[in-house]
Structure 1
Amino acid sequence: MSGLVTVPCADAWRIWDQNMAAARQFHARDGHLRVPRQHHEEVDGETVGLGSFVANAQRRAAKLSLERRGDLEQLGMRWKLIMTRAYAE
């Protein structure tokens, strides 16, 4: 299956956009993106689990597209260094 490209479905794009709207809102208000894990934002009448989104994005940084990483970096995302066995040896 080489050459197979995974394209996120429309729902995944919608959820990403909603999370990014929450991240931009938080950043505009607080000036940073150091979001507590349990934090929620209200965006357009919907509650968004921003803390979970940021924590998951940090954990999955290597799997994010360059575009998505760039979107978060524009808001000052701080990426966590995750040590793997290869680096530790």
Structure 2
Amino acid sequence: MSQAEKWAMHLAAAQQCFEREGHLKVPRKHVETISLPRPGDGRDEERLLKLGAWVANQRSRAAPLTADRVDQLSAVGERCRHRPRALALGYTLGGLRPCLRRDT
């Protein structure tokens, strides 16, 4: 499995968790179950993903993330008004935490 495929799976898990919980403040040990179509027969296959560790890692590795990946993460929490300025100032995703919550 490529790194891009792993990224896409975890991003889908983050979106699923956000839609259900309204935030991505998950404990590091949180595991998210997602369903993916199995190649060939198209039936769904359940995957257990260590979402809490992945979210924590993305926040701590925000500097080396591409702008496209930062945009994808921020999009999970819908609109982020502070994203362009925060990125220009070199903030990490930890500093973008308000962007990862649903605006009310």
- TM-score, scaled relative to structure 2: 0.64
Post-superposition CA distance 1:24-73 (Å, at most 9, x none): 00000001111110000001100000001000000000000101101111
Partners of 1:36 and 1:70 lie apart in 2 by: 23
Partners of 2:22 and 2:59 lie apart in 1 by: 18
User: How many residue pairs end up in the alignment?
Assistant: 72
Partners of 2:66 and 2:52 lie apart in 1 by: 20
Partners of 2:52 and 2:10 lie apart in 1 by: 10
Aligned to 1:35: 26
Give the structure with the larger strand fraction: 2
Give the structure with the larger helix fraction: 1
Partners of 1:48 and 1:19 lie apart in 2 by: 7
Partners of 1:80 and 1:27 lie apart in 2 by: 16
Aligned to 1:80: 94
After superposition, where does 1:16-31 map in structure 2 within 5 Å?
Answer: 16-31=7-22
Q: Percent identity?
A: 36
Moved more, 27-36 or 69-78: 69-78
Partners of 1:66 and 1:35 lie apart in 2 by: 23
List alignment gaps of at least 5 residues for structure 2. Answer: 36-45, 81-91, 96-104
Aligned to 1:48: 49
